[in-house]
């Protein structure tokens, strides 16, 4: 607005236009306002910043009259110190009453006496009288409500998932227990073999049928495991065991009867046993991928190590089968 006016007159004029004197939120906006102002012959324009004394505290504080933009000291020059109340200069009473007002002068931001006359820059909008307070308040309320809904929904879904997983685990545990209890009453699906049958299964314990690593050895140097094939074509593993605590065939078969009754998805199924010359042999289903010991300590060539997620699942399965 090119008609030179005092700061108060400029503010009234902007309000009449449905706006307010321009405010600066950051230094990035200054080049635009400066371009508007330098197009005027005077080269000086009022902005909406004031430095007025508080009636309650008597302290001079800067602010923008639109009530929405916060004052930013990082780019605006510091305000001149206010004169003392007993100042004899003729401008003192005027300053104590009106304070300083913000100006753009020759591409600079300065403070000036509010009664001097300059052009001014208005910001036009739907509300020119501190309407931003209600808008900001409504925005904060809306943001709070939306955040609360999102938080409550997330919390509810999390609680539901935890409850669902716990229920699922309980059902699985009960199912496994019933399966184990039911399988315990089933007649053992195994038999006692003769040593000559074991020789036939393993092709005379041929060296090429010997399983490497610690396949079922249990750390006993006299223990070994061979791959074999039953008469019906089923692959099996034949393991020789020597238990110092066993007194003979009777004790060995008694222990095998206990083991043979166990049924669980994580336990290798026992197919039969044999006792010959104080040596015990266990025939169980053949697991082509080897033992857990192989995969942890004797990794097959070209195989990838077990990740921790797989190891945790295996550990849980072992604990479940032991229970």
CA distance 16 to 48: 15
* Residue among 30, 104, 102 nearest 65 (CA): 102
pLDDT of residue 130: 47
| Ranges 57-61, 253-257, 268-272, 306-310: which has the least confidence | 57-61
Contacts of 158 (CB under 8 A, 6+ apart): none
Nearest to 295 by CA among 282, 311, 273, 274: 311
Domain boundaries, the chain: 1-134, 135-186, 191-288
Q: Give the pLDDT confidence of 262-295 residue by residue, as tens digits.
A: 877 777 889 999 998 888 999 989 988 877 888 8
Determine what percent of the chain is predicted with pLDDT higher than 70.
72
Per the model's pLDDT, the better-predicted residue between 176 and 313 turns out to be: 313
Tell me the CATH architecture of domain 1-134. Roll (3.10)
- Kindly tell me if the per-residue pLDDT of 216 is higher than 50: no
Angle at Cα 209 formed by Cα 227 and Cα 211, nearest 5°?
A: 70
Average pLDDT over residues 177-182: 58
Q: What's the half-sphere exposure (Cβ side, CA atoms, 13 Å) at 137?
A: 6
Collapsing DSSP to helix, strand or coil, 193 comes out as coil
Query: Which overall architecture, per CATH, does domain 191-288 show?
Result: 2-Layer Sandwich (3.30)
Report the run of H or E that residue 12 belongs to, with start and end.
helix 7-16
Of 123-132, 152-161, 251-260, which one has max mean pLDDT?
Answer: 152-161
Count the Cβ atoms, other than its own, within 10 Å of residue 261.
16
- The secondary structure element, H or E, covering residue 106 is none
Residues 213, 206: Cα–Cα separation, whole Å: 17
Local confidence band at 57 (pLDDT 50, 70, 90 cut-offs) = low
- Which band of pLDDT confidence, cut at 50, 70 and 90, is reported for residue 83? low
pLDDT tens-digit map of 111-148: 888 888 888 888 886 554 444 444 556 778 888 899 99
Q: What is the pLDDT of residue 185?
A: 45
Cα 31 from chain centre:
43
Higher local confidence (pLDDT), 65 or 188: 65
224-228 long-range contacts (CB < 8 A, ≥24 apart) are 226/202, 227/202, 227/286, 228/198, 228/201, 228/202, 228/203, 228/283
pLDDT at site 151: 93
């Amino acid at each position: 607005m090119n008609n030179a006016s005092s700061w108060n007159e400029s503010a009234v004029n902007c309000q009449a236009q449905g706006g307010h004197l321009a405010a600066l939120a950051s230094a990035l906006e200054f080049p635009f306002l400066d371009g508007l102002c330098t197009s005027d012959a005077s080269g000086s324009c009022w902005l909406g910043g004031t430095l007025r004394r508080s009636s309650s505290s008597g302290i001079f504080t800067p602010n923008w009259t639109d009530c929405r933009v916060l004052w930013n000291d990082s780019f605006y020059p510091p305000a001149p110190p206010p004169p003392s109340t007993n100042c004899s200069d003729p401008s003192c009473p005027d300053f104590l009453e009106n304070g300083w007002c913000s100006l753009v002068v020759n591409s600079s931001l300065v403070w000036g006496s509010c009664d001097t006359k300059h052009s001014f820059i208005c910001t036009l909008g739907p509300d020119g009288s501190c309407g931003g307070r209600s808008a900001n308040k409504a925005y904060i309320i809306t943001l709070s409500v939306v955040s609360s809904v999102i938080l409550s929904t997330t919390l509810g879904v999390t609680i539901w998932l935890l409850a669902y997983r716990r229920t699922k685990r309980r059902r699985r545990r009960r199912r496994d227990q019933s399966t184990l209890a039911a399988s315990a009453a089933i007649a053992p699906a195994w038999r006692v073999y003769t040593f000559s049958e074991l020789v036939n299964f393993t092709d005379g314990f041929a060296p090429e049928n010997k399983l490497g690593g610690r396949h079922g050895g249990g750390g006993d140097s006299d223990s070994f495991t061979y791959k074999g094939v039953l008469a019906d074509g089923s692959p099996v593993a034949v393991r020789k065991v020597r238990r110092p605590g066993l007194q003979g065939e009777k004790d060995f078969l008694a222990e095998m009867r206990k083991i043979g009754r166990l049924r669980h998805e994580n336990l290798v199924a026992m197919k039969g046993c044999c006792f010959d010359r104080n040596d015990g042999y266990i025939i169980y289903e053949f697991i082509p991928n080897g033992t857990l010991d192989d995969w942890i300590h004797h990794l097959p060539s070209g195989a990838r190590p077990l990740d921790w997620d797989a190891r945790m699942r295996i550990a849980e399965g072992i604990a479940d089968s032991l229970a």
